[in-house]
Every structure is written in C-alpha cells, then in structure tokens.
Structure 1
Amino acid sequence: MKTTLKILTLFICTSAFAQEHLTNYLETAAQNNPALKAQFNEYMAALERVPQVGALPDPTVAFGYFVQPIETRLGPQQAKISASQMFPWFGTLSARENSVEALAKAKYELFEETKSKLFYDVKATYYNLFFTEKAIGITLENNEILSSFKNLANIKVESGLASAVDAYRVEMEINDLENHLALLRDNSTVLRVKFNNLLNVDDATVIQITTELSESILLSKQTELDSIMANNNALSSFDYQLEGLEYRKKSATKEGLPQFSVGLEYAFIGEGISTTSNAGQDAFVFPTVGISIPLYRSKYKAKVQEVIYLQEAKSFEKSDKQNTLTVLFESIWKDYQDANRRFSLYQEQTELAQKSLSILESNYATNNIDFVEILRMERKLLKYELEMHKAVADREAAVAFIEYMQGK
C-alpha cells in the first residue's frame, strides 16, 4: 500500500511539473511569437479607425478680398471670411463607429484564433518531443537487453550449445536499433528547433521535457462539440462581422438622408459716405444654414443592397465554417478514441511481452530453444512500448486540437 502511494505521489508531482513547464512555454510563446504580435497589431490598427469614422467632416473656411470694394449702406465692403460645418443626419456617425468597432472585435477574434492555433502547435510539438525522448530511452534500454542476449549467445556458442548464427542475428538487431536511434535523435533535434522557433527563442535553448504525461479527463463528445460551436473564435469573428455589416447598412441608409450645414460670414467694412451711426464698422456677421439634398437615389440604394449581399455571403461563410468544424471534430474525435484504445491495448500487450520474453530468456539459458523466438519477442516488446507512448502523445495532441477549436 505504501509503495502504491509513493508511485501515485510521484505521478502527481511529475504531472504537475509537466503542466507547470508547458504553461510557462505557452506564456513565452504568447509574449514572443511574431505572427501573434502581427495579428495583435492589426487589431490595434482596426481600433484606430473608430475615432476616424466618428468624427465630423472638417469645417470649411474661405476668405474673399474685393479688388473693387462693394458699396453698402454701412460703407464699402473690402473683404469677407466665412466658416461652415456640415452635419450628417442624426445617428449616421454613431452607426459608422459601431460598424468599425464591430469589425475591430472581429479582428480581435482572429487574434485569439491565432493564439489558440499557436498554443496547439506548442502543445503538439511538446507531446511529439515527449514521445521522441521516450522512444530514445526505450530504444537504449532494448539495446542493452540485446547486448545481454549477445553475451548469452556468445557463451552458448563457445560452449558448443548454440550456432554462431545466433550471435550474428543479435548483432544485426543491434545494428538496426542503432540506426533507428540515430533517426530518433535527428527527429528530436528538428522538433527542438521547431519548438524554440514557436517560442521565438534561441534554437539552442534547453527544453525541459517531462517523463510522464498526466492522463486527460475523459471527454464527452456532445459536450465538446457544443463548446466548439459556442466558443470557436472563427465563428465569433463571423458574428462580429455580421454585426458590423448591420451597422454599415444602417449608416448607408442614413447617408441617403439630407445633411445640414451651419456657418458664419464675417465682412470687413471700410469708411464710406454713409452717415448712419454704425457706418464704417469693420465687421458684420451673417449666420448661414444650408441643407444637402441627396437627389440621386440609385447610388444610396446600391450601397444598401451591397451590404445585404455581403451579409448573405458572410452568413453562408459561417454555415460553411460550422460544417467544416463538425467534420474536423469528427475526425479528431476518431483520433482521440483510437489513441485511448491503442493505449489500453499496448499497455496490456507490453505486460504480456515482458513476461513472455522473461520466460524465453530463461528457457534459452537452460535449453537449446530457437533463438529467433527471443529476438521476435524482443521486437514485439519494443514495438508495444513505443506504440503505448505514441498513443499517449496522440491522445494529448487530440485533446489539444479540440481545445484549439474551442478557442482555448
């Protein structure tokens, strides 16, 4: 009982260690990854458009000088300056602001989508590294086992109890394992470079890889699919784009309504022949009010119809994305289920192969049984151990992809 508790405690501590390191790596990736930074800056740029579209048109200022002053009852008008401000129909500016703000939110959802995809890539690469390091360790262990078999075969050959072919066979198996080991180490190098590039750190940075992965909580298919449809960043982006188009249609409708202008005119009056009490005053203000009437209705109708078509297009795009996500989820759910089945299968097969190999080794040491059976069983044991850890890595990668589709 005490031994079981110690193993359980060690497993929990190892899992916590692994999760802590992976969380730190995800934070580093979020802070450093250039693609993610680029997406965030696009979102910030989209936000800067809100005050641009919500501002009134720039006021118009004009100055006029009369080469030949115009005589008025107050005196000769020498020059005048005017200023006017155009005001769109009520609610037009707020509709434009809301449209651009919604599109900025859509950009933010795409930023979140990029971040979720980055996190998945980091996790998947980490799990591949976990498997590769496990495979290297298992291959080295099997190499040691084969070396012991080689020594045993040499002893039997020297004593005349076995053929030299047994020693040659084990030597061939060792050569194959060494070649496979070299390939695994090359794969590890490639994965480490990829992992560090995702984090945007130096390629030579040491990566801490856990020795065990914690078992994921058993997932419910319908619950996970519902979560994808409710939280997927791409779908949320479509929702905000549709919202922005609705405000854009409202703005296009209001652009077809009259616009108003308010202005002032300031006249410079010189000394003249007038004898009135206020003659010669140097300024006179004329308040002005104007209205812009949109007579060419086809242009504004076309603007509204354009938005309606865009809304329909976005709705179809969203439906297509939902269908794509459903198919993608079914595929990754198949991988998740397959990984769980493979893990259970190869865990049991590994235990049986270990017991069988132990019996065969004892029999070979005391009897003259066929050495090929030992090598065949050793190959099976190597395969089952590798497949068991591959199933663990594949299962965690499938869970990570489901989380990515859920916007986590």
Structure 2
Amino acid sequence: MKNKYKIIFALLMLLISSVISAQDELNRYLGITAENNPELKARFNEYMAALEVAPQVKALPDPQLAFGYFIQPVETRVGPQQFKLSASQMFPWFGTLKAKENVAIQTAKAKYELFEESKSKLFNTVRNNYFNLYFNQKAIAITMENLDILQVFRKLAIIKVEAGLVSSVDEYRISMEINDLENQLALLKDQQLVLTIAFNNLLNIDGQAPVDVPDQLWTDDFPLNKQAALDSIVQKNHQLLGIDLQQEALQYKKEVARLMEKPSFKIGLDYTIVGKGENNMVGTDAFLFPSVGVTIPLYRNKYKAMVQEVAYLETAKASEKADKTNMLETLFEINWKDYQDAVRRLSLYEKQLELAQKSLTLLETDYSTGNKNFEEILRMDRKVLKYNLELEKARTDKQASISFINYLMGK
C-alpha cells in the first residue's frame, strides 16, 4: 500500500513539474517576442524619440549674432566706424521653458504607456496562438487515437462479416467513418503548419521552427475575484494610464499658453571697430552699452485661443477616458462570462468523456459477443471524439480568457 502511494505521489509531482515547465516555456517565448518583434521595437523607438524632445524645448532660443560692414565709414570723434559685431539672447518669461519641458516629459510617458499597451496586447496574441497550437496538436493526437480505435472496430466487423453474423454494411460504415477522420486529420496537420508559421512570425524567428507545447495544458484558475479584477483594470490598464498622462500634458500645455502672454526679454551687446582717424593715429575699439529689449505680446487673442483650445482638448480627453472605461468594462464582462463558461465546460466534459468511454467499452463488448446495432457503436465513438475535443477546447478557452483579462489589467 505504501508503494502505491509513493507511485501516485511521484506521478503527481511529475505532472506538476511538467505544467510548470510548460508555463516556463511559454514565458521563454514571450521573452523572445519582447526582444524580436518588429512592431514592439517600433513602439519602443517612438518612446525613445519622444524622450529627446524635452532637452530641445527646455533650451533657450539660439543666440543671434550679426555682422555689419560700413561701405562708407561713418566718421566719429574717435575715428571712422568700419564694421560692427552684435550678439543678443532672448529669455522667455520665468517658468515657460520648464512648463514646455513638462509637456514633453508627460507626452513621452504617454508614449511609454502606448509601448506597454502594445506589449501587453502582443503577449496576449502570442499566448492565444500558443493555446491554439496546443489545441490543434491535441486534436491531431485525439483523431489519430480515434482512428486506431476504429481500425480495431473494422477488424472486428470484418471477422463477424466473414463469419456471416452481420451484414457487410457494418464494414462499409466504419470505412466511411475512417475516411472522414483521415481527411480531417490531413486538414489538422496543414493547420498546424499555418499556426506554427504565424506563431514564429510573432516572435520574428524562423517560421518553420518547431514550437514546444505541453502534453496537457495547465488548468490554473484566475487568482482574483470579479470586482478585484475590474478595479485592477481601471487602475492599471495602459490605455487609461496613457490618457491620464495626456491629460497631465494638456495641463502643462495650458500653463505654457498662459506664460506666453507674458513679455520676453532680450539682452544684447554691440562691438564696433573704429579705424584710424584724423584725431587718433592708430584707431580705437569702441564698446557700446549693452542693449536690453522687451517683447510685448500685444495681440493677446491668439494666446487666449491657445488656452481655450487646450480646454476643449481636456474635455475631449475626459470623454475619451469615460468611453474607454466603459468599453473595457464591457470587454471584461464578456471575457469573465467566457471564463466562467470554460470552467463549467471543463467540469462537464470530463464527466461526459468518462461516461462516453465506459459506454463505448460496453457497446464494443456487446457487439463482439452478440449482434448489437453497429450504428450505436459509431454514434458513441463520435461522442468520445467530440467530448475529447471539447474538453481540450475548454482548457484552451479557460486560459485564453485568463490571458485576455490579464491583458486588460496591463500584464
């Protein structure tokens, strides 16, 4: 008895380790996707480009340099003026450059959330493709197993036909069933190649490279309750976080518009070269007093329009966030329903498959020992095939629903 428990425990640990290994394998594929996917690289480089805007907008305007040459020198008391150099620098109102920098920083952060959204969406697509590969591979294995069973039935039918116990129709029926399954099997194998290429293209690797999928998909439950998951979506969804950052950028943009109504200042310096004149023998460099200027924004309507423009954009963003929140809540409800349905189907088809397999065994025994209706055996065999496939479909649908909810939560 102790040996029996040891064997059961060993098999259980082997199953757990294989499930963990399968999840690690999927995580490895996600890591390859993050490194190689072209779309994700594009989103990341857009974010890096946005980071380079802040150093540009926070810098002072370029200083102005001017050179003037007197074609006819102007005579002065110290000599004729020959040419003049001027340098000036504009200074915007206090805080304007900082506000512009803040706009650029918040815009870059919004770009980062767009990158994170693209990554979460891509990871969800990779996981779904992985689950589809698993289901298709299981469908191939189940179909081949069912073909083996039908081959056994056909041999049994041939024996009974040769013994004159049943009509040749039994053999014909099972041959037709085998032909249908062989055609379906060929389609599934073609589909496996298409799914493999599509999966590898997401990873941006060789399309023909084999994909490692588990013998049996894990059946982990979603760890949060419904309300906790919905709250997490509202707080952590990257689309909503991106809109929040865009709203913050608009607040700084409004501040920039208001600061632009203030004057800006100009400080300059002139340097004049004076040549040899009648009153001096060698010429003198003459420094003039530094110049100070003020730019006064007289036409204020355009600045008021800029402020109003931002106000409208803020209202639009608030409406966009409300609409996006409603849409995400709807998507969550749909996928939560799908998750619950998959959990129910998983339990249902485990029971149905067990009953169908027992029924098929009994029918096979009855047919081999008597003249029971062979049509009933084929009907039950179809149910075994159906429940096997439905069970695997429920497993994949459950994990696909969990994957999509995690995507909505920003994972």
| Range class of TM-score, shorter chain | over 0.9
Aligned twin of 1:19: 23
Following superposition, the deviation at residue 166 of structure 1 comes to 0.9
Q: What do residues 230-285 of structure 1 show as CA deviations (whole Å, max 9, x unaligned)?
A: 1111111101111111111101110110000011000112233447xx99422323
CA distance in 1: counterparts of 2:264 and 2:399, whole angstroms: 61
Aligned twin of 1:115: 119
Aligned twin of 1:171: 175
CA distance in 2: counterparts of 1:158 and 1:105, whole angstroms: 79
CA distance in 2: counterparts of 1:135 and 1:2, whole angstroms: 33
8 Å contact 1:51–1:97 — kept in the other structure? Answer: yes
User: Does residue 1:353 correspond to 2:356, yes or no?
Assistant: yes
The match for 1:333 among 318, 332, 336 is 336
Where 1:283 maps in the other structure, the secondary structure is strand
Aligned twin of 1:286: 289
Q: What do residues 326-372 of structure 1 show as CA deviations (whole Å, max 9, x unaligned)?
A: 00111111111111111100000000011111111111111111111
TM-score, normalised relative to structure 1: 0.97
Aligned twin of 2:202: 198
Where 1:304 maps in the other structure, the secondary structure is helix
Aligned twin of 1:69: 73
8 Å contact 2:120–2:407 — kept in the other structure? Answer: yes
Following superposition, the deviation at residue 45 of structure 1 comes to 1.1
Amino acid corresponding to residue 251 of structure 1 in structure 2? V
Q: What do residues 177-224 of structure 1 show as CA deviations (whole Å, max 9, x unaligned)?
A: 111111111111111010010001111111111111222234411111
The match for 1:378 among 381, 387, 394 is 381
Where 1:13 maps in the other structure, the secondary structure is helix
CA distance in 2: counterparts of 1:36 and 1:165, whole angstroms: 59
Q: Over the residues paired in the alignment, what is the CA RMSD in angstroms?
A: 1.4
Amino acid corresponding to residue 312 of structure 1 in structure 2? T
Aligned twin of 1:262: 267
CA distance in 1: counterparts of 2:215 and 2:189, whole angstroms: 17
8 Å contact 1:96–1:248 — kept in the other structure? Answer: yes
Amino acid corresponding to residue 223 of structure 1 in structure 2? A
CA distance in 2: counterparts of 1:171 and 1:217, whole angstroms: 42
Aligned twin of 2:304: 301
Amino acid corresponding to residue 85 of structure 1 in structure 2? Q
User: Does residue 1:28 correspond to 2:32, yes or no?
Assistant: yes
Aligned twin of 2:145: 141
Q: What do residues 67-126 of structure 1 show as CA deviations (whole Å, max 9, x unaligned)?
A: 232233322222211100000000000100110111111011111111111111110000
TM-score, normalised relative to structure 2: 0.96
Where 1:70 maps in the other structure, the secondary structure is strand
Q: Percentage identity across aligned positions?
A: 57
CA distance in 2: counterparts of 1:211 and 1:74, whole angstroms: 99
Amino acid corresponding to residue 135 of structure 2 in structure 1? F
Aligned twin of 2:61: 57
8 Å contact 1:125–1:195 — kept in the other structure? Answer: yes
Q: After the TM superposition, which parts of structure 1 deviate over 3 Å for at least 4 consecutive aligned residues?
A: none
User: Does residue 1:48 correspond to 2:52, yes or no?
Assistant: yes
8 Å contact 1:266–1:286 — kept in the other structure? Answer: no
Following superposition, the deviation at residue 287 of structure 1 comes to 0.7
8 Å contact 2:219–2:398 — kept in the other structure? Answer: no
Aligned twin of 2:313: 310
CA distance in 1: counterparts of 2:352 and 2:11, whole angstroms: 22
Aligned twin of 1:250: 255
CA distance in 2: counterparts of 1:371 and 1:68, whole angstroms: 119
Q: What do residues 308-332 of structure 1 show as CA deviations (whole Å, max 9, x unaligned)?
A: 1111111111111101100011111
Aligned twin of 1:213: 217
CA distance in 1: counterparts of 2:226 and 2:392, whole angstroms: 24
8 Å contact 1:350–1:385 — kept in the other structure? Answer: yes
Aligned twin of 1:187: 191
8 Å contact 1:74–1:279 — kept in the other structure? Answer: no
Amino acid corresponding to residue 389 of structure 1 in structure 2? E
Q: Structure 2 regions of 5+ residues with no counterpart?
A: none
Where 1:81 maps in the other structure, the secondary structure is strand
CA distance in 2: counterparts of 1:145 and 1:267, whole angstroms: 105
Structure 1 279/285 Cα, relative in aligned 2: closer, same or farther at 3 Å? Answer: farther
Amino acid corresponding to residue 240 of structure 2 in structure 1? L
Where 2:61 maps in the other structure, the secondary structure is coil
CA distance in 2: counterparts of 1:360 and 1:94, whole angstroms: 83
Q: Structure 1 regions of 5+ residues with no counterpart?
A: none
